[in-house]
Amino acid sequence: MFPTTRLRRLRQHPQLRELVRETTLSPRDLILPLFVRHGQNQKIPIGSMPGHAQLSVDNLAAEIREIVSLGIPGVILFGIPAHKDADGSDARSESGIVQQAIQEIKSVDDSLLVITDVCYCEFTDHGHCGVLTERNGHVDVDNDATLELLQDQAVSHAEAGADMIAPSGMMDGMIEALRNALDDVGFTHLPIMSYAAKYCSGFYGPFREAAESAPQFGNRATYQMDPANALEALREVELDVAEGADILMVKPALSYLDIIRRVKDAQPEVPLAAYNVSGEYAMVKAAAANGWIDEQRVTLEILTSIRRAGADMILTYHAKETARWLS
Ligand code: PBG
């Protein structure tokens, strides 16, 4: 009684294994996050994210050339402004840190896709993702007042030359508000990548050090999603598609592979991104530094798994090393 069907047959020859491989991973699938800070000739390493640093605008050129030469198609920008205030004015200033960075990158190499994170947490002195309001002694982010500020920020990024905006603040009605604002001033062609299902996650810890954007009180639970919810992610995604999102995103990635799959199944026609976030990166780096895991093998396995779950593209801090490994 021996088996007729033997799945091991297709695993015998390396070329055959490759022929039957269902999921591919290429540098062309990856988007690299960059942290741009105020000041001159700055390159401040981010302790919890080995290999990453806050770069001042005058130090971007070499980095951009390297990214392009590795075949990475795009970057997403996060800004650390010189000055933070209650309503995050640098975020929508013509001379804001992100606006300067867009122009610099475009002047170095305009073939690179420049995506901007549209959100206020890096720009407000309180570290929340919008402006605050008080209701019955309880302080919270004011949804609709924040929508107006996000509109100004998005238009300002578009005017500076961004190729795509990626709103991450999890305000209700955000995509429709941004679509209208962009269309009103003639940016009808500018796509929106929506952080549609963004969870209130502990995995953002290292990012908040990197972007200096930790909330100064409380947490983001009144706007980001509860990690326990999946059906709610489908509602978020449906709304964003109806409001005009061009690309959807699930974030974080690794603990949310089920969400990536469900979103892809629910909206198969809409391109899907996943954000392999800072804490996921830091865990791999820390274990690898201790010699506990094989960094290359584990990283490629993680990124392949995110693709297998249904992501068409991945925002990842591993983009540069992965592009080297794959070439
Ligand atoms: C918010 C934003 C965050 C990240 C991307 N956009 C942080 C947050 O919501 O606190 C996190 C990304 C990461 O952890 O890598 N503007």
- Which residues touch 41 (CB under 8 Å, ≥6 apart)? 56, 58, 59
Q: What phi, psi does 66 have (nearest 5°)?
A: -65, -45
| CA of 205 relative to ligand 1 center, distance in Å | 9
- Residue at 14 is within a domain: no
pLDDT per residue as tens digits for the range 268-277: 999 999 999 9
Give the chain's residues under pLDDT 50: none
- Residue at 11 is within a domain: no
- Residue at 252 is within a domain: yes
- Residue at 4 is within a domain: no
pLDDT per residue as tens digits for the range 220-259: 999 999 999 999 999 999 999 999 999 999 999 999 999 9
For residue 188, the enclosing domain spans 26-326
- Residue at 6 is within a domain: no
Q: Domain count for the chain, please give it.
A: 1
Q: Please tell me the predicted confidence (pLDDT) of residue 216.
A: 92
Give the Cα separation of 282 and 35 in Å (integer): 16
Measured by CA distance, the residue closest to atom 12 of ligand 1 is: 277
251 is catalytic: yes
- Residue at 19 is within a domain: no
Q: Please tell me the predicted confidence (pLDDT) of residue 111.
A: 97
The answer to whether residues 140 and 96 touch, using CB atoms and an 8 Å cutoff, is: no
Q: Please tell me the predicted confidence (pLDDT) of residue 199.
A: 98
> Which two structure tokens, joined as six digits, stand for 262?
């469900």
Q: Please tell me the predicted confidence (pLDDT) of residue 173.
A: 98
Q: Exactly one of 43, 84, 106, 198 is catalytic; which is it?
A: 198
pLDDT per residue as tens digits for the range 297-320: 999 999 999 999 999 999 999 999
CATH number of the domain enclosing 152: 3.20.20.70
| CA of 224 relative to ligand 1 center, distance in Å | 11
Whether the model clears a pTM of 0.90, i.e. scores above it, the answer is yes
- Residue at 13 is within a domain: no
Q: Please tell me the predicted confidence (pLDDT) of residue 243.
A: 98
| CA of 121 relative to ligand 1 center, distance in Å | 9
Ligand 1: residue of 34, 121, 285 to mutate (most ligand atoms within 8 A of CB) is 121
Residues facing residue 210 across a β-bridge:
none
Give the Cα separation of 156 and 281 in Å (integer): 31
